[in-house]
Chains A and B, each alone.
Chain A
Amino acid sequence: MTAPPSPDDGLSPAELAAKYGLSVSGARPGLFEYVRQLWGRRHFILAFSQAKLTAQYSQAKLGQLWQVATPLLNALVYFLIFGLILKADRGMEREVYIPFLVTGVFVFTFTQSSVMAGVRAISGNLGLVRALHFPRASLPISFSLQQLQQLLFSMIVLFVVAVGFGSYPRLSWLLIPPVLALQFLFNTGLALIMARLGSKTPDLAQLMPFVMRTWMYASGVMFSIPVMLKEHPAWIADILQWNPAAIYMDLMRFALIDGYGSENLPPHVWAVAAGWAVLVAAGGFVYFWKAEERYGRG
């Protein structure tokens, strides 16, 4: 046959591999090695997220203008329904309620779309996973990075709305970047968890919209939780207010809107915001990494 007789005859494949220092193909690297590989792919992660973002509107005549027009139309619809028709403002002045509502919608959409993109990050890109080698966490991270960039476009609209309703730039606007950073960490962790779940059970893509909508109504996107639940036991409002989506929305409103003071925030709000971010990001990363070698299987 092909190989001439050699001293290696009679060795088992595993012994032969050990003798020549071959490693198992497709084995999961250690956690630190994994982080290092991921860091090596940072340019790919960024380029992939930007490519996805650009590709979204490349066939439209208005092109990238839709990045801003879509959130603007969204804000208009919510204003029309909840501001003008349903009058859900309950005890809030119009100058506060409209930015309150629009901030809530944008901030929640950021988490919502990260989760939805996360579910399909692996299962929707099996071709890529089966063709090329890269740490698979690149995909969910890249998708939540895409959502972050999408949100930055929405922030332009948000600033216009805030100024339009009398909240002018002030010192507290400096709190916006740290809030965004914490929420991004939280979203990425969530996207990693959903990516692993979605790779095993693609059906989650059908189920998640309902879960997310429930979460949205429970987080006080269109109304203030303490005002709405005044007649109920206080612990219900507490739990709802401490859920991460509500925390990030409230912090963003507090930073952005003039008439939305710290009395609307639950106690220890920054610690809770940071806690959720670190817990979910670290937990999600490890959880995703644990199944790294199994993602190619359909």
Chain B
Amino acid sequence: MADDKSADRAHIPTVIADELHIVYRVNGAKTGKGSATSALSRIIRRGEERGVRKVHAVRGVSFTAYRGEAIGLIGSNGSGKSTLLRAIAGLLPAEKGKVYTDGQPSLLGVNAALMNDLTGERNVILGGLAMGMSREQIKARYQDIVDFSGINEKGDFITLPMRTYSSGMAARLRFSIAAAKDHDVLMIDEALATGDRKFQKRSEARIRELRKEAGTVFLVSHNNKSIRDTCDRVLWLERGELRMDGPTDEVIKEYEKFTGK
């Protein structure tokens, strides 16, 4: 619990969300007639809604996170957990409200930067650069990343294109690249459940390490056990609203009652 920590740690805020609203705009998903003429008339009318449907994913969430906290985010599918994380990281612009952060929070994950047609080797370099590491840093960590992923345990796979990997292997390499960098404010989106049992244990250990180095950790997971193991505070989101914010045990107990476990 936060109360156990030394006073100076508990008092320094690292992330403040103030009445945060996030709205997605989806083109071409407006209900009603989908014909070309109706699309044209919508364009010509130039109203507020031009064939655009809005999805209000986060509705007025406020909280303050302090240095040294590990915060779990729970809620059913589509409740806005991942969206909230992205907004904290400054990757999704807020519709209303603000997020204040200390330094640059980063999401754990480089999936989008990697290319299936390139070799694992080049993807390690590309992913590292995409996360903002320097060429020297990548060179220094390269062997660790490859060893950690265990890609080369069954032959020289790192020099093959990533499209030849099994889905488990690719997931392991992605996690290894993503976990190679140290972060101030670290956000993990259900990254614990990749790879086989052996790799899961190794990645859990790596996340604990990252937690020690990071100021504040956010973890999104559907696994209540991993939330209990790693987090001391939990935010419960439902339909984009903050339903509960408190110590892990209390919130998880309520959540389990809600989901009928």
Are A and B bound to each other? yes
Q: Which of A245-298 contact B (CB under 8 A)?
A: 293-294, 296-298
1/0 per position for A50-81, CB-CB distance to B under 8 A? 01101100110000000000000000000000
* Bound CA–CA A54/B122 (angstroms): 11
Asked whether, in the complex, the Cβ of A25 is within 8 Å of the Cβ of B110, the reply is: no
In the complex, identify which listed stretch (B100-108, B191-199, B217-225) lies at the interface while the others stay far away.
B100-108
Q: Which of B66, B92, B125 interacts with A130 by CB under 8 Å?
A: B92
List residues of chain B with CB within 8 A of the CB of A14. 18, 98, 100
**Cβ-closest chain A residue relative to B232:** A2
A213 within 8 A of B: no
1/0 per position for B1-45, CB-CB distance to A under 8 A? 111000100111111111000001111000000000000000000
Asked whether, in the complex, the Cβ of B161 is within 8 Å of the Cβ of A58, the reply is: yes
List residues of chain A with CB within 8 A of the CB of B93. 26, 293-294, 296-297
Asked whether, in the complex, the Cβ of A16 is within 8 Å of the Cβ of B3, the reply is: no
A33 within 8 A of B: no
**Cβ-closest chain B residue relative to A48:** B126
List residues of chain B with CB within 8 A of the CB of A44. 126, 129-130, 132
Asked whether, in the complex, the Cβ of B10 is within 8 Å of the Cβ of A4, the reply is: yes
* Bound CA–CA A290/B10 (angstroms): 38
1/0 per position for B35-73, CB-CB distance to A under 8 A? 000000000000000000000000000101010010000
* Bound CA–CA A81/B47 (angstroms): 48
Asked whether, in the complex, the Cβ of B24 is within 8 Å of the Cβ of A128, the reply is: no
* Bound CA–CA A21/B102 (angstroms): 7
A20 within 8 A of B: yes
B135 within 8 A of A: yes
List residues of chain B with CB within 8 A of the CB of A128. 112-113, 130
Asked whether, in the complex, the Cβ of A51 is within 8 Å of the Cβ of B126, the reply is: yes
| A132 CB to nearest B CB, Å | 6
List residues of chain B with CB within 8 A of the CB of A293. 90, 93
Asked whether, in the complex, the Cβ of A43 is within 8 Å of the Cβ of B135, the reply is: yes
Asked whether, in the complex, the Cβ of A2 is within 8 Å of the Cβ of B69, the reply is: yes
| B178 CB to nearest A CB, Å | 10
Asked whether, in the complex, the Cβ of A47 is within 8 Å of the Cβ of B126, the reply is: yes
List residues of chain A with CB within 8 A of the CB of B115. 51-52, 55
Given A1-B246, A2-B69, A296-B86 in contact, is the A24-B98 Cβ separation under 8 Å? yes
**Cβ-closest chain B residue relative to A128:** B112
Which of B26, B87, B99, B134 is packed against the most chain A CB atoms within 10 Å?
Answer: B99
Q: Which of B14, B100, B111, B130 interacts with A134 by CB under 8 Å?
A: B130
Asked whether, in the complex, the Cβ of A51 is within 8 Å of the Cβ of B118, the reply is: yes
Asked whether, in the complex, the Cβ of B118 is within 8 Å of the Cβ of A55, the reply is: yes
List residues of chain B with CB within 8 A of the CB of A131. 91, 107, 109-113
Given A1-B245, A4-B7, A58-B161 in contact, is the A26-B132 Cβ separation under 8 Å? no
B88 within 8 A of A: yes
Asked whether, in the complex, the Cβ of A6 is within 8 Å of the Cβ of B14, the reply is: no
Asked whether, in the complex, the Cβ of B13 is within 8 Å of the Cβ of A25, the reply is: no
List residues of chain A with CB within 8 A of the CB of B89. 25-26, 133
**Cβ-closest chain A residue relative to B125:** A47
1/0 per position for A169-200, CB-CB distance to B under 8 A? 00000000000000000000000000000000
List residues of chain A with CB within 8 A of the CB of B99. 24-26
Given A3-B2, A4-B3, A131-B109 in contact, is the A23-B100 Cβ separation under 8 Å? yes
Given A1-B246, A2-B1 in contact, is the A129-B12 Cβ separation under 8 Å? no
Asked whether, in the complex, the Cβ of A51 is within 8 Å of the Cβ of B122, the reply is: yes
A228 within 8 A of B: no
B233 within 8 A of A: yes
Q: Which of B86, B104, B117, B233 interacts with A59 by CB under 8 Å?
A: B117
| A205 CB to nearest B CB, Å | 12
Asked whether, in the complex, the Cβ of B12 is within 8 Å of the Cβ of A20, the reply is: yes
Q: Which of A12-57 contact B (CB under 8 A)?
A: 13-14, 16-17, 20-27, 40-41, 43-44, 47-48, 51-52, 54-55
Which of A27, A130, A294 is packed against the most chain B CB atoms within 10 Å?
Answer: A130
**Cβ-closest chain A residue relative to B99:** A25
List residues of chain B with CB within 8 A of the CB of A59. 117
| B163 CB to nearest A CB, Å | 8
Q: Which of A4, A43, A132 interacts with B110 by CB under 8 Å?
A: A132
B247 within 8 A of A: yes
Report 23 cross-chain contacts, Cβ distance below 8 Å, ordered by A residue: A1-B245, A2-B2, A2-B69, A3-B11, A16-B13, A17-B16, A23-B102, A24-B100, A25-B87, A25-B100, A25-B101, A26-B91, A44-B132, A48-B126, A51-B115, A58-B118, A128-B130, A129-B91, A131-B113, A132-B107, A296-B91, A297-B24, A298-B27
* Chain B residues with a Cβ under 8 A of chain A: 1-3, 7, 10-18, 24-27, 62, 64, 66, 69, 86-94, 98-102, 104-107, 109-113, 115, 117-118, 122, 125-126, 129-132, 134-135, 161, 232-233, 245-247
Closest 9 CB pairs of A and B: A26-B90, A17-B100, A13-B18, A25-B90, A127-B112, A22-B100, A55-B117, A44-B129, A128-B112
